[in-house]
Amino acid sequence: MSLRSLLHERWRTRVSLLAAGCLEGGEQQATLLHLDACGECRREHEAALAMLETLAADPARDAELPVPVEFLVTRVEARVAALTRSRGFRWARLAYSLAVAAALFVVLPWILPPLVPPVVDRVVKRTVEPVAPIAVEPVAMDDAALRRVERTVAREQAVRYLSEAQDVLMTVASTPRSCLLEDRHLDLSEESRRSRELVSRRALLVALDDDSVASARLVIDDVDHVLREVARLDPCANPEAVARVQQQMEQDRLLMKIRLMSRELVG
Amino acid sequence: MEASDRELMGRLARGDRDALAPLMERHSRRVHRIALAYLRNVDDALDVVQDTFVKAFEHAARWNADSEVAPWLARIAVNQSIDRYRREKRRRASFEPLAEGDHHESLSSQLPSPEARASGSETSLRIAAALRSLPERQRAVFVLRHYEELSLEEIAGILEMRLGTVKSSLHRAIHEMRRRLQGLRA
Per-residue pLDDT of chain B (186 residues; tens, 9 = 90+): 788 999 999 999 998 989 999 999 999 999 999 999 999 988 889 999 999 999 999 999 888 888 899 999 999 999 999 999 998 888 877 766 544 444 444 333 344 444 444 445 778 888 999 999 999 999 999 999 999 999 999 999 999 999 999 999 999 999 999 999 987 765
Choose among B147, B142, B115: nearest CA to B130.
B142
Q: How far apart are CA A197 and CA A209, in angstroms?
A: 21
Please tell me which residue of chain A has the smallest CA distance to B50.
A76
Percent of chain B predicted with pLDDT > 90: 66
Facing residue for A13 by CB, picked from B36, B168, B181: B168
* Contacts A77 to B, Cβ<8 Å: 17, 20-21
Contact between B112 and B127 (Cβ < 8 Å): no
Q: What is the pTM of this model?
A: 0.62
The answer to whether the Cβ–Cβ distance between A83 and B54 falls below 8 Å is yes
Q: Which residues contact A168 (CB under 8 A, 6 or more apart)?
A: A191, A194, A195, A198, A227, A230
In order along its 267 residues, chain A shows pLDDT tens digits of 567 777 788 888 999 999 999 998 899 999 999 999 999 899 999 999 999 998 888 888 888 888 889 888 988 988 888 887 776 666 677 777 788 888 887 777 776 666 555 555 555 555 556 666 666 666 566 788 888 888 888 888 888 888 889 888 888 888 677 887 777 888 888 888 889 888 887 776 666 666 667 777 888 888 999 999 999 988 888 888 988 998 888 888 888 788 778 877 776
The answer to whether the Cβ–Cβ distance between A16 and B32 falls below 8 Å is no
Q: How far apart are CA A197 and CA A191, in angstroms?
A: 10
Which DSSP letter does residue B186 get? -
User: Which amino acid is residue B4, in one-letter code?
Assistant: S
B40 touches chain A (CB under 8 A): yes
The answer to whether the Cβ–Cβ distance between B32 and A65 falls below 8 Å is yes
Q: How far apart are CA A121 and CA A113, in angstroms?
A: 13
CA distance A204 to chain B (A): 32
Q: Which sign does the torsion angle of CA A261, A266, B3, B9 carry?
A: negative
Q: How far apart are CA A240 and CA A256, in angstroms?
A: 23
Task: Give the pLDDT confidence of B99-125 residue by residue, as tens digits.
Answer: 444 444 433 334 444 444 444 577 888
Q: Which residues contact B13 (CB under 8 A, 6 or more apart)?
A: B60, B61, B63
Facing residue for A65 by CB, picked from B28, B147, B171: B28
Q: How far apart are CA A264 and CA A213, in angstroms?
A: 10
Choose among A202, A204, A211, A215: nearest CA to A147.
A211
The 10 Å Cβ neighbour count of residue A224 is: 16
* Contacts B121 to A, Cβ<8 Å: 59
The 10 Å Cβ neighbour count of residue B93 is: 13
Q: How far apart are CA A116 and CA A89, in angstroms?
A: 36
Facing residue for A20 by CB, picked from B25, B147, B170: B170
Facing residue for A58 by CB, picked from B123, B145, B175: B123
* Contacts A16 to B, Cβ<8 Å: 170-171, 174-175
Contact between B52 and B73 (Cβ < 8 Å): yes
B58 touches chain A (CB under 8 A): yes
* SS3 per residue for A50-82: HHHHHHHCCHHHHCCCCCCHHHHHHHHHHHHHH
Contact between A37 and A11 (Cβ < 8 Å): no
DSSP assignment of chain A? --HHHHHHHHHHHHHHHHHTT---HHHHHHHHHHHHH-HHHHHHHHHHHHHHHHHHT-GGGGPPPSS-HHHHHHHHHHHHHHHHHHHHHHHHHHHHHHHHHHHHHHHHHHHHHHHS--HHHHHHHHHHSPPPPPP-PPPP--HHHHHHHHHHHHHHHHHHHHHHHHHHHHHHHS-PEEPSSSTT-EE-HHHHHHHHHHHHHHHHH--TTSGGGGGGHHHHHHHHHHHHHHHHS-SEE-HHHHHHHHHHHHHHTHHHHHHHHHHHHH-
pLDDT at residue B115 in the model:
42
Contact between B8 and B41 (Cβ < 8 Å): no
pLDDT at residue A105 in the model:
79
* Contacts B54 to A, Cβ<8 Å: 76, 79-80, 83
The answer to whether the Cβ–Cβ distance between B46 and A66 falls below 8 Å is yes
pLDDT at residue B53 in the model:
96
B131 CB-contact burial (10 Å; exposed 0-12 / middle 13-18 / buried 19+): buried
The 10 Å Cβ neighbour count of residue B12 is: 24
CA distance A182 to chain B (A): 17
* Contacts B50 to A, Cβ<8 Å: 72, 75-76, 79
B168 touches chain A (CB under 8 A): yes
pLDDT at residue B110 in the model:
40
Q: How far apart are CA A172 and CA A72, in angstroms?
A: 15
Facing residue for B54 by CB, picked from A22, A67, A79: A79
